[in-house]
Structures are given as C-alpha cells and as structure tokens.
Amino acid sequence: MLRIHNVKVKLGEKRYAKVISQYLNVREKEIRNVTLVKQSIDARRQNVHFICSFDFQVHDEEQYLRKFPQLQRVQPYQYHYLPSNDQSVMIVGSGPAGLFCAYVLAMSGQKVTVIERGQEIEKREKAVADLLENGCLHCESNIAFGEGGAGTFSDGKLTTGIKNERIRYVLETFVQFGAPEDILYLHKPHIGTDYLRQVIQNMRQFLIEKGVTFLFETQMIDFKQESDSYHVTVLHHGQTEVMNTDLLVLAIGHSARDTYELLYQKGMTLEQKAFAVGVRIEQSQQKINQIQYKKSASSPYLKAATYKLAVQSGKRGVYTFCMCPGGYVVPSQHEDGTLCVNGMSYYARDGQNANSAILVTVSTDDFGSSHPLAGIEFQRQLEKKAFMLGGGHFHAPVQKAMDYINNEVNPLGKIKPTYQPGYQLCDLNQIFPDFINHSLKEGLLLMNQKMPGFIDEDTILTGVESRSSAPVRILRNENFQSSMKGIYPIGEGAGYAGGIMSSAIDGMMCAEQILKTYK
C-alpha cells in the first residue's frame, strides 16, 4: 500500500483514482483500491478546495517508490492486546478515559467494574432536558456528570494536538460502535452529540457482553487500603455500600470537586494547575461561512465553517476553544447556586449560530492561595457571580460583545442566545476581576483584526466558561500510579489530557500499564 499527501482536489470531486493519476501523470487504470486517508479545506484564497492524502495500490510498488519520492509505503496499524492478569480493576468514571481503559482491559480478558456517579445515557438525557426546559438541576446527572462524561453533550470533537499511533484505533473503535465513517479522514473530525450518545450506549452494551460490570448512580465517597487491595465505599442509589478491588483507576473528570477533596484528605499528592476562563461568543454561522469560504460559502460540498484564533494580551494568552459551528450554548454546572456554560453541536451542525469559548489563561499565581485545590475555588467564585448576575433559575448572563468592551448594556440585535433555560441581559464585567476583563476585551479586538467580522454589533457573549480543563493535577509516575500504590489517575480529571481523543488514549495507555505491571 502506498500513500500520497497534499493532493489538491476540487470541491465535489470523488474520482480519486483519476485525481491521483493526473497528479502523478500516470494512467488511471494503474491506480487501484484508493482510500481517502485525510481531507482538509484550503480556504486561504478565493478558489476553495480540499487538500487530501490517499492510500492506493499499484502493480509494482518498488517502481513507483523509485520514480516518485513523495510516495511512502504504509502498513495498516494493528493494535495488539496484552494478556490479562488476576488483578480486579475498578474504574471510577465512564468518560472517554474510563471507557477506553475498560475497553482495552476487557479485550484482554481482565475483570473490570466501572462505577459512574451519574446516570446512563437514557436517564441522563431526561435529566439534562429537565434543566434545559424547566431550570431544574440534577446535581449528580447533568452535562458534567453521567455516562460518557462531559463530552457527551458537546460537539464531540475528535481533534487532538498529540501524536500517537493509538489515534487511529480510537477512531476506528468509534466507527465500530456507530460513529460516522468520515471521522476516519476529516482533518477536524467530530461525532456530534446525537451520534455520540448512541456510540456510547453501543460501547457499553459491548463491554457488558465482554464481562464488564457497570454501576450507574454510584459515587465513590471513601476508600481504604487493606494489604494489596482497596475497600471502596460508594453511595449506590442512595445506599452506602463497600466494594473490594485490587486496583483503582480514577477517571473522574474535571468537575469532580468533591472527589478531589476526598483525595486531598486521604493524603494523595495533588498540585495546582493553570487553566483558562472566559465567555462563550455567539455569531451568525452564515457570516462565519462567508468570512472563511468567501465565494464558495454556499457550496453544498462544504460543511459549516470553523475558526481557531489565538492572540496575546500582555503576558496572558487569549484564545478560542471548542468552537461549535451551527451549535448551541448549554449549562454545564453541577452545583446549586452556580452557573457555567459550554458549547454543543449535533452532527449536522445546522443551527443558525456559531459559538466558541473565548478564554484567558489563568496562572496558579492568580489563585491567591497555595492550597492544591485553590483553582477550584477560583472557578466556583466566578460561577457564583454568573448565577447571581443571571438572576437565578440557571438563567445565563448575556451581553453584546461591543457593549462588554464599551461597558454598556443595550438590547440584543439580530443574534439571539441559544442558551436554555433562559438568559438575562447584564454587564459581564461584574463577573471577572479586572485583569481578565482587560485581556478578554483586548483579545476580542485583536481577534477581530486577525479575522475581520469576527465581532460586530450583533455578536453576543454568555458567561461564564470556566471548565475548559482541570484546575488540579493528580501527580502520577511513569507507570501511571499516583502517590498511592495501586491507584491510577487518568484523563482530564487527572490533569493529563484535554478532550475526547487524548483522554481515550490516556485510558488505553493506563490499561496497557496495568497489564504489563501485574503480568
């Protein structure tokens, strides 16, 4: 199998063998079994087109490799499972890190139990609907907690900044359980919250058939080491129970504040971690398409346009995060009296508004305390202010972007908030300390210079975005173990991953380490 990169392809062109033959100036019939490996959009000029990588076969590969130095020989990636051992494993959390840790262990024949404080998808959807439609928050089952983790009610982005051979395995696993096949080749793949929910349910059912035990509405509230195993106290459907396990994997997610507190009380080594806070911006998706795609904005071959911007405000970075084309702004808090937001898109990305987080970096020096959990309190204070400013009932504080910059509050224009259950017009300056307000305002103006039209008189901001990453790191060694033997912190909640893909890979690598260590 040969691979070729950086092939320019016109919008709508599907005759890939012909495209490759023209690119190499060979006969089309020599090119066989073509597979699209990667597809990105080049919209830098008026003539918008795709840039693609292809795998294909020819009769004489050696001849082609000699003649065309830009070609390379590739072998299909195959993941090899390690043999199981006699250690029982309890995984706390069913987000991507926990699920893929369980998946690798189960495929190797390991005994695995997954406990999840939130509900399974079917019940979780009803709890989330109750929040969106009625303003009723279920503190243990919401957009932060429940089967699939916080990413379940997001855009389902599968991009990652890490380089790892397991990426293909994760993507193929998602497709196996029902994800769209285009995630295998799109430069910026996403599943969408609608597909992702079904994928997670299918994955759970497969794991159950492989012998994995799932316990939902089951929260770890204590643990105690006894010899070489752990007694784990859980709150299961309101009843306290004690469960035993040899190994404990913590895939708790970045919002499990009470679990962080438990770990701190137990003496586990934690440290502060820098993160970022800000707002959600909403713009017209049609306008973003026009800015990015120019004359090709109406092409049926182009999906809703995205953007990614980063600027500098003094020593602080200001950047877009989790951009959701055609998406919705949703409440992601889990504590009463607080409010924070996130972005969510369906696979079609066909909503009227584009949204993205606009974040300002926050260092540990900003926390005002050396306590390992000080970052959590920093988040919480912003979320309490957002709740109060929104008037309660989980209504979000909203302001036009230019009004925020100019310290004014005026009626909204053409763009209406997608946030449910409701919103309140107010001055977002009241949420943040001066240093964040200064950087956010400067950052917005600089972004508008880099991408003219990024903000206009109708652009709106919704506060507060505070959960982009964990404010804590649970220290672990090269074998993935924490300061307590037999306990393995993984994923976003441990501070070692960010997003679905890197979390899934972190879970896989932890499983591999468990299989190696106790063989």
Per-residue pLDDT tens digits for 58-101: 999 999 999 999 999 998 889 999 999 999 999 999 999 999 99
Instruction: For 195-240, write each residue's pLDDT tens digit.
Output: 999 999 999 999 999 999 999 999 999 999 998 899 999 999 989 9
Residue 267: partners with Cβ closer than 8 Å, 6 or more residues away: 483, 484
Concatenated DSSP letters for 55-81?
EEE-S-HHHHHHH-TT-EE-------P
- Give me the percent of the chain exceeding a pLDDT of 90: 97
Six token digits for residue 114: 């997954």
Give the pLDDT score at 99: 99
Q: In the numeric block, which tokens belong to residue 358?
A: 């606009």
What average pLDDT does this structure show over 144-173? 95
By percentage, how much of the chain surpasses pLDDT 70?
A: 100
Cα Rg for the chain, rounded, in angstroms? 24
If one counts every other C-beta atom within 10 angstroms of the C-beta of residue 380, the result is: 18
Topology given in CATH for the domain delimited by 89-271+473-517: FAD/NAD(P)-binding domain (3.50.50)
Output helix, strand, coil percentages for the chain, rounded to the nearest 5: 35, 25, 40
| Residue 112 confidence (pLDDT) above 90 | yes
What mean pLDDT is predicted for residues 120-127? Answer: 98
Q: What three-state secondary structure class fits 147?
A: coil
d(CA 41, CA 302): 9
Which of 98-107, 136-145, 154-163, 170-179 is predicted least confidently? 154-163
- What integer pLDDT is reported at residue 77 of this predicted model? 85
- Picking from 140, 56, 374, 509, the residue whose alpha carbon sits closest to that of residue 131 is 140
pLDDT for the residue numbered 45: 83
Inform me whether the pLDDT recorded for 186 exceeds 90: yes
Could you tell me if 435 and 369 are in contact, meaning their C-beta atoms sit under 8 angstroms apart? no
Find out whether 269 and 483 touch, Cβ atoms under 8 Å.
Answer: yes
Q: Tell me the two tokens of residue 173.
A: 């696993």
Average pLDDT, the chain: 97
Supply the pLDDT for residue 446: 99
For the domain with range 2-73, which CATH number is right: 3.30.70.2700, 3.20.20.330, 3.40.50.300, 3.40.50.10440?
3.30.70.2700
* Mean pLDDT on 155-166: 92
Q: How confident is the model at residue 261 (pLDDT cuts 50, 70, 90)?
A: very high
Residue 240 burial (10 A CB sphere; 0-12, 13-18, 19+): exposed
User: CA–CA separation, 61 vs 307, rounded Å?
Assistant: 39
Whether 483 shows a pLDDT value over 90: the answer reads: yes
What confidence tens digit (pLDDT) does each residue in 388-427 have? 999 999 999 999 999 999 999 999 999 999 999 999 999 9
Print burial letters for 478-497: b (CB count within 10 Å at least 16), e (below 16).
Answer: eebbbbbebbbbbbbbbbbb
d(CA 323, CA 447): 14
* Range from 156-170, 312-326, 448-462 carrying the lowest mean pLDDT: 156-170
Measured CA to CA, the distance from residue 98 to residue 111 in angstroms comes to 14
Burial class (CB in 10 A: 0-12, 13-18, 19+), 209: exposed
Rounded mean pLDDT, 149-156: 95
Residue 295: exposure state from Cβ atoms within 10 A (0-12, 13-18, ≥19) = exposed
Provide DSSP, 264-300.
Answer: HHTT--EEE--EEEEEEEEEEHHHHHHHHHGGGTT-T
Rounded-to-integer distance, Cα 215 and Cα 237, Å:
10
The DSSP H or E segment spanning 505 is helix 500-517
Amino acid letter for position 218: T
pLDDT 10s digits, 360-376: 999 999 999 999 999 99
What are the structural domain ranges in the chain? Answer: 2-73, 89-271+473-517, 274-465
187 membership: H or E segment, kind and range: none
Distance CA 203, CA 41 (A): 31
